[in-house]
């Protein structure tokens, strides 16, 4: 039995098989047997006249059969036949590129052919942040020919803890300007295409169309569903990762070959239930770990080599340094990649994720909550007024900055600590930005407290407007 190796794009037409064993003793017989077994492959390999398509290259072991006896080339039991569809663009490698990529070229899994595939490949990274930084750096270094980046943020000094593509001199600059400069310096052979815009339902399909692989490095649910749906609708693989504190997830969602993100999570969690990295924090190294996994999966897809994370969800726990894997199945009722999809165009993802409704809910909720401004609080403290200041942040936040006189009760422990407060006292509650303390005020009101108010904007606004020497986080 000779073995036929199928490239990634053809595997969906062969029940996902990467290789197929055939009995045929010539290339022609082997291919005939292959398309008899998987009839859907026929139109990809043969033209209407029954000739092997000109852009399909056939290799017996490592020899191009055009230089042997073409389709009459004999195959014996331990031979392999590789089908290598040509990819537009790319071209030969220059001497400079050969030197630069020499450690790739001497690996049988990459070689000159693989390096040319990387050069011809077009990868789109959504987000140039924590995940996008290592992803873009490694893909550029590896020689991916065209690297699209979508982001419209500006470098902030709180980014430098994890977004390793930027330096202190980039703070305040548009991220894509700084990232493109860094990547071009690293590898001038790479064409960096910046899209300095927010990815939206209006522009996603048009941007995605030009790329072979999309890597999702976003940090919010609306964009994550948008990336998924646009990938399903344009048939692109979506190399996914997400991170939170010490934990990460990664997978490759590709509807033609396996499940999509919606097969896994049909609907987003209610707004506010899953904290973002900005609220909950993230170990700066973690996006490096996950971004490099994304880069590895991207390169494997381009090379058509290895076993991609399709149908598998990789769970990374950096604190225990354990990697686990869950099997993902394609949901037969998936609203977008199932046989009877109800989602056939891009929708309003902000609304889908409940964001406008949530803002409205918070607005009406806080409308009923009495507030003090930071200026009023300053006046109350300066006058030496009698009141109790309650800080409902977490202990590690108290350690960064706090009012010395405050009673410190983290929000989650308020119910069991409510007896530390008296309904007779004037109370001002604060947190970092005012959201958690609004919930605390509501809780205390329901518990019978009448003289309780929320500090609008929290300690962060205090640091901005009253006490500039206080650290902000
Ligand atoms: Zn799906």
Cα distance between residue 314 and residue 297, in whole Å: 12
pLDDT digits (tens, 9 = 90+) for 268-324: 877 666 666 666 788 999 999 999 999 999 999 999 989 999 999 999 999 999 999
Kindly indicate whether the domain formed by 2-85 is annotated with CATH number 3.40.50.1110. Answer: no
Confidence category of residue 49, pLDDT binned at 50, 70, 90 = confident
- In angstroms, what is the span from residue 261 Cα to ligand 1's centroid? 6
Q: Cα dist. 252→133, 185, 215, 241, 427 in Å? A: 19, 30, 9, 9, 51
β-pair partners for 418: none
- In angstroms, what is the span from residue 305 Cα to ligand 1's centroid? 24
Non-local (6+) Cβ contacts of 146 within 8 A are 121, 122, 123, 190, 191, 193, 211
Q: Catalytic residue numbers? A: 277, 431
Kindly indicate whether the domain formed by 368-465 is annotated with CATH number 3.40.250.10. Answer: yes
pLDDT digits (tens, 9 = 90+) for 165-199: 999 999 999 999 999 999 999 999 999 999 999 99
Q: Tell me, what's the pLDDT at 55? A: 66
Q: Cα dist. 435→212, 268, 376, 393 in Å? A: 42, 21, 19, 11
Q: Cα dist. 271→236, 351, 451 in Å? A: 28, 11, 30
pLDDT digits (tens, 9 = 90+) for 412-437: 899 899 889 998 899 999 999 988 89
- In angstroms, what is the span from residue 405 Cα to ligand 1's centroid? 53
- In angstroms, what is the span from residue 221 Cα to ligand 1's centroid? 16
- In angstroms, what is the span from residue 205 Cα to ligand 1's centroid? 18
CB 156 within 8 A of CB 130: no
String of DSSP letters for 49-89: TSPBPTTEEEEETTEEGGGTTGGG-B--TT-EEEEEE--SS
Which residues hold their Cβ within 5 A of ligand 1, which is an ion? 260, 262-263, 334, 337
Sorted by where each begins, the domain ranges of the chain are 2-85, 121-358, 368-465
- In angstroms, what is the span from residue 329 Cα to ligand 1's centroid? 9
Domain 121-358, CATH: 3.40.50.720
Helix or strand holding residue 429 (H, E): strand 427-430
- In angstroms, what is the span from residue 332 Cα to ligand 1's centroid? 8
Indicate the angle between helix axes 132-142 and 286-303, nearest 10 degrees.
40
């Amino acid at each position: 039995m000779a073995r036929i190796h199928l490239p990634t794009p053809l595997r969906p037409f062969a029940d996902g098989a990467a290789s197929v064993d055939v009995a045929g003793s010539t290339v022609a017989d082997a291919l005939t047997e292959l398309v008899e077994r998987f009839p859907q492959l026929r139109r990809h390999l043969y033209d209407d006249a029954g000739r092997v398509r000109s852009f399909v290259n056939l290799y017996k072991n490592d020899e191009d059969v055009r230089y042997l006896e073409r389709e009459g080339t004999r195959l014996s039991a331990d031979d392999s036949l590789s089908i290598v569809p040509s990819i537009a663009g790319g071209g030969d490698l220059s001497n400079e590129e050969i030197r630069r990529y020499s450690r790739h070229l001497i690996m049988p899994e990459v070689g000159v052919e693989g390096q040319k595939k990387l050069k011809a490949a077009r990868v789109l990274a959504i987000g140039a942040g924590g995940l996008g930084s290592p992803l873009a750096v490694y893909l550029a270094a590896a020689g991916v020919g065209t690297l699209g980046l979508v982001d419209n943020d500006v470098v902030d000094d709180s980014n430098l803890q994890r977004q390793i593509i930027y330096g202190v001199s980039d703070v305040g600059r548009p991220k894509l300007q700084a990232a493109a400069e860094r990547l071009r310096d690293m590898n001038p052979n790479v064409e960096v295409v910046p899209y300095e815009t927010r990815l939206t339902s209006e522009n996603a399909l048009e941007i995605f169309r030009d790329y072979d692989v999309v890597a999702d490095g976003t940090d919010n649910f609306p964009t994550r569903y948008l990336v998924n749906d646009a990938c399903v609708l344009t048939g692109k693989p979506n190399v996914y990762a997400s991170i939170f504190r010490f934990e990460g997830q990664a997978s490759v969602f590709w509807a033609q070959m396996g499940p999509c993100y919606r097969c896994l999570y049909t609907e987003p969690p209610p707004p506010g239930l899953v904290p973002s990295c900005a609220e909950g924090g993230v170990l700066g190294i973690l996006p490096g770990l996950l971004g490099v996994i994304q880069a590895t999966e991207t390169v494997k897809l381009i090379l058509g080599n290895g076993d991609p994370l399709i149908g598998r969800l990789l769970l990374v726990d950096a604190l225990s340094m354990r990697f686990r894997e869950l099997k993902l199945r394609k949901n037969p009722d998936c609203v977008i990649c199932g046989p009877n999809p109800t989602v056939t165009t891009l929708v309003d993802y902000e609304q889908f994720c409940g964001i406008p409704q949530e803002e409205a809910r918070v607005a009406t909720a806080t409308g009923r909550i009495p507030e003090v401004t930071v200026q009023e609080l300053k006046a109350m403290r300066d006058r030496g007024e009698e009141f109790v200041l309650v800080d409902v942040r977490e202990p590690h936040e108290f350690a960064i900055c706090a009012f010395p006189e405050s009673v410190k009760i983290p929000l989650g422990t308020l119910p069991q600590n409510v007896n530390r407060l008296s309904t007779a006292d004037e109370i001002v509650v604060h947190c970092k930005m005012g959201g958690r303390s609004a919930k605390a005020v509501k809780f205390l009101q329901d518990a019978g407290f009448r003289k309780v108010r929320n500090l609008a904007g929290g300690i962060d606004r205090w640091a901005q407007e009253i006490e500039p020497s206080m650290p902000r986080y």
